[in-house]
Amino acid sequence: MRGMVERIKQAWEFLDRPENGFIRDMAAVAAVIAGTFLLIQALHWIVNRLMKRKKNTNKRVNTLRKLLNSIITYVVVIFAIVQIVQSVFHINLGAIMAAAGILGVAVGFGAQTLVKDIIAGFFILLEGQYSVGDEVTVSGASANYSGVVDELGLRSTRIRGSNGDLFIVPNGAIVSLVNHSLLPHSFFIACIFPPETDSNIMLDLFDKISKKAELDLSPLTKTPVPSICPAPGGGFSVRLKVVCQSHSQEILEKELPHRLQKGLAKEGIRVPESGFEIIR
């Protein structure tokens, strides 16, 4: 222990010599950078732990966690840069900004966009417009972007397209958006049967198959409800109303008709050639 203290004392005396000023400054810069990295990691760890302790963690909590981590990173890095410039290199930023009026104006105009993006990001989270994992369509000033929200940051939103493309959209550039995940989606599965078919039996079969599907398929938000309406030619149409999560609609449009056809075949009922129709 005494040997370590002695080595630290010798290193400090070496750095304190006037001829070693450059080495001292570089060591100070390295210390600030290392301290900044450790502080960011520690604060991120605290935020992540606090968010994980919450019950019923949902997409909004995850979005808030990422946004807080983003704020922490920005603030700590900015303070570290100011510390290096003023304390290590002994540069008075206030005097420079006061002297360089034109540069200050330019920086001010440039910061307007940054401030706009940050404010927009806060309001997106505050109003719950969308969260990480939501399927959205965002309209910008010159283009539209559709996909799943991959990350909601302090300054920008990352949207993952269906083909894997990652769109990085500044929050302040979002003119309008459509959130496809806020409410459940619904559609109908319809099948026309001839008039000689017993409608009550068909309703019971559709209801039985629907209840079984609700137990097997988690994307269904409620039990599909069958109903009957007249069809051209004297027959009738059995319509099954399906309410589901938005991202699972295409899968259910294929899976449920398959289950219905299989269930009807098991009861010896042949599906008409017209088959099942998807009505959105």
Among residues 91, 117, 143, the one where a domain terminates is 91
Task: Count the neighbouring beta carbons within 10 Å of the beta carbon of residue 82.
Answer: 12
Flag whether the pTM goes above 0.75.
Answer: no
What is the rounded CA–CA span in Å between residue 174 and residue 122?
Answer: 13
Q: Do residues 168 and 233 share a domain? A: no
Same-domain status, 163 and 197 = no
> Which two tokens mark 92?
């008075």
pLDDT above 80 (res 107): no
pLDDT digits (tens, 9 = 90+) for 230-256: 887 778 888 888 887 766 777 888 888
The count of C-alpha atoms lying within 13 angstroms of the C-alpha of 234, restricted to the half-sphere facing its C-beta, is 4
Describe the chain by its helix, strand, coil percentages, rounded to 5: 55, 20, 25
86 part of a folded domain: yes
- Quote the domain boundaries for residue 235: 185-279
Q: Is residue 117 part of a domain?
A: no
Question: 190 and 268, same structural domain?
Answer: yes
- Our count of domains for the chain comes to 3
Shared domain for 157 and 207, answered yes or no, is: no
**Is the pLDDT assigned to residue 54 strictly greater than 70?**
no
Is 97 a domain residue? no
On whether both 158 and 216 belong to a single domain, the answer is no
